[in-house]
């Protein structure tokens, strides 16, 4: 029977939980504190592999998680913002950056955890500026991290004397590859190599495992940390999968090299001769492993990227690209504008399909439909970037009249992209909230929302056609004005139901009103060009 008040098992689990929470707190606070710099670093991704490694180290240092960085890269790959060759160096850099946290926790600072937490909390409590609050949260996170590590170490002292635990650890010593497998699985479960290596340090400090055993924990943690990106890549496009698996192969091959017996033994002897205690030796082992691996694989970044690209090629599902744009289509201004216009219409059709399907989100919980709409939003983002670049490049080579036409096209592109984002971010969020809370609109309310949706679809179709036919601009504007009146009328009817005390209307009020606002906003965005183009 476990004593929930003083059980060492509870202390161990609580220690791991506090360690992980502290790390998450520090990571999130650092991300908020350095948000602008993170964006700048991501924008510096280029063909410079050395710069990419520096970006990887910097990002991982800021976010305190190589898994978070690689997951970010998977997301950027899914949106086609980056390519695999661009981020191969970043992947190598994340491995080096992840050693910083392990280096910090290798110092025995748990006795300072509570005072540091108290001081940081005081600053957080009295501070008014967000920057100071986030800076305080960073120190609070690290204080919790050391507090959790101290609890893990306390529990490790107890379990080191347990005969059953001794027998289990002896089995691991006799089968070191089993240690690797267990640590790899544990790291994949907790999504943190620092937690895994921190536990190995605690066990090593009390003599439960040797430095040799701890190295296999380090090896396992290095492979296990790739699970975060692999999970993020599920359902991603080919670039997202390439990034995740490149991270996995890089880490696995790095560990495989050090598992070669002569090299492992030499590595162990080298660490054994370093002064500073076993915790420092483990942390140094983790750092040296990743630095040497970076040196080994750096010359093979390009061949490695080509290999991964062949291993995970584009599928028919991933073959989405511009159909009409080419940077060589400058035979005439009219031809270039025509190509861009056809691409804009492709983008408009995708946005229209998102609007048409958006009402279905509120009928039942359909993860497939949500994923489909998000994928379409990614396509819209991709077409927006490519078409905008094409138009801006052409604007630099054209006269003033054509330049104004191009500016109008870019403005319409921007409005289409913003309309798609409204569906992808705001309307999907409202639908998820409704379905998660199992709320139901009143029959009258749902009928009104469907009417509003139908009117928005009608406005959107007319507005899109009006972009190429100015004669429809007045009709578009009139439809938009009618929609505004319909929206006001529906708000009044909803408030009337609230006054009558209709339970369904009360429960769904915020969702209902927000959805009306989003539909009105989407219609307004798509009609903006009509006001500028009407004759």
Domains of the chain, residue spans: 8-311, 333-533
More confident: 402 or 316: 316
d(CA 168, CA 128): 52
pLDDT class for 78, splitting at 50, 70, 90? low
pLDDT at 1: 41
Measured between its terminal Cα atoms, the distance across the chain in Å is: 83
User: SS3 breakdown of the chain: % helix, strand, coil, rounded to 5?
Assistant: 85, 0, 15
Question: Token pair of 145, please?
Answer: 């991290």
More confident: 67 or 399: 67
Q: What is the DSSP secondary-structure string of 455-491?
A: HHHHHHHHHHHHHH-GGGHHHHHHHHHHHHHHHHHHH
Residue 65 has pLDDT above 80, yes or no: no
Half-sphere exposure (Cβ direction) of 54: Cα atoms closer than 13 Å: 11
d(CA 104, CA 109): 9
pLDDT, tens digit (0-9, with 9 covering 90-100), for 335-375: 677 778 888 998 999 999 999 999 999 988 888 899 899 98
Question: Token pair of 149, please?
Answer: 């590590």
Q: What is the CATH number of domain 333-533?
A: 1.20.58.220
Dmax over CA atoms of the chain, in Å, equals 89
d(CA 402, CA 408): 10
d(CA 430, CA 436): 10
The answer to whether 206 and 150 are in contact (CB under 8 A) is: no
d(CA 423, CA 232): 22
How far is C-alpha 142 from the geometric centre of its chain's CA atoms?
23
pLDDT at 135: 85
pLDDT, average across residues 405-430: 91
pLDDT at 511: 93
pLDDT, tens digit (0-9, with 9 covering 90-100), for 103-113: 887 877 777 88
pLDDT at 2: 46
pLDDT, tens digit (0-9, with 9 covering 90-100), for 171-186: 888 888 888 999 999 8
Torsion of CA 329, 332, 334, 336, to 10 degrees: 20
Residue 531 has pLDDT above 90, yes or no: no
């Amino acid at each position: 029977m476990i004593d929930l008040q003083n059980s060492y098992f509870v202390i161990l689990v609580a220690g791991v939980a506090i360690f992980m929470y502290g790390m998450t707190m520090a990571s999130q606070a650092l991300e908020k504190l350095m948000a602008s710099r993170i964006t700048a670093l991501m924008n510096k991704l280029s063909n410079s592999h050395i710069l990419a490694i520096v970006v990887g180290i910097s990002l991982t240092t800021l976010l305190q998680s190589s898994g978070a960085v690689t997951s970010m890269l998977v997301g950027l790959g899914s949106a086609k913002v980056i390519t695999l060759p661009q981020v191969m160096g970043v992947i190598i850099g994340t491995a080096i950056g992840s050693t910083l946290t392990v280096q910090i926790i290798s110092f025995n600072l748990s006795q300072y955890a509570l005072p540091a937490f108290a001081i940081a909390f005081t600053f957080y409590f009295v501070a008014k500026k967000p920057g100071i609050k986030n800076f305080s949260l960073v120190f609070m996170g690290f204080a919790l991290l050391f507090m959790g590590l101290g609890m893990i170490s306390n529990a490790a002292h107890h379990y080191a004397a347990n005969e059953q635990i001794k027998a289990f650890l002896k089995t691991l010593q006799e089968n070191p590859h089993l240690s690797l497998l267990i640590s790899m699985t544990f790291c994949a479960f907790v999504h943190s190599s620092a937690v895994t290596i921190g536990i190995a340090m605690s066990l090593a400090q009390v003599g439960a495992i040797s430095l040799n055993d701890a190295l296999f924990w380090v090896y396992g943690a290095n492979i296990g940390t790739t699970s975060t990106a692999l999970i993020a890549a599920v359902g991603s496009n080919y670039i997202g999968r390439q990034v995740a698996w490149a991270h996995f192969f890089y880490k696995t091959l790095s560990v495989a090299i050090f598992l070669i017996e002569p090299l492992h033994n030499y590595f162990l002897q080298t660490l054994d001769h370093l002064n500073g205690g076993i915790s420092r030796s483990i942390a140094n082992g983790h750092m040296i492993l990743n630095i040497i691996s970076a040196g080994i694989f750096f010359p093979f970044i390009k061949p490695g990227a080509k290999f991964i690209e062949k291993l995970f090629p584009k599928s028919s599902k991933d073959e989405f690209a511009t159909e009409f744009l080419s940077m060589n289509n400058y035979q005439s201004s009219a031809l270039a504008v025509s190509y861009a216009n056809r691409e804009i219409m492709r983008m408009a059709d995708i946005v229209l399909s998102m609007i048409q399907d958006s009402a279905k989100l509120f009928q039942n919980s359909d993860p497939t439909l949500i994923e489909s709409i998000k994928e379409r939003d990614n396509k819209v983002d991709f077409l927006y970037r490519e078409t905008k670049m094409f138009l801006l490049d052409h604007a630099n080579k054209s006269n003033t009249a054509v330049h104004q036409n191009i500016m109008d096209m870019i403005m319409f592109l921007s409005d289409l992209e913003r309309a798609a984002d409204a569906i992808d971010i705001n309307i999907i969020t409202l639908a998820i909230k409704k379905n998660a809370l199992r709320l139901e609109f009143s029959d009258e309310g749902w009928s009104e929302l469907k009417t509003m949706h139908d009117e928005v679809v009608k406005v959107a179709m007319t507005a899109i056609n009006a972009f190429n036919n100015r004669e429809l601009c007045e009709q578009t504007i009139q439809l938009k004005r009618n929609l505004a009146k319909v929206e006001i009328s529906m708000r009044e009817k909803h408030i009337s139901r609230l006054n009558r005390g209709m339970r369904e209307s009360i429960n769904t009020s915020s969702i209902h009103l927000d959805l009306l606002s989003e539909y009105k906003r989407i219609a307004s965005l798509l009609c903006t060009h009509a006001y500028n183009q009407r004759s």
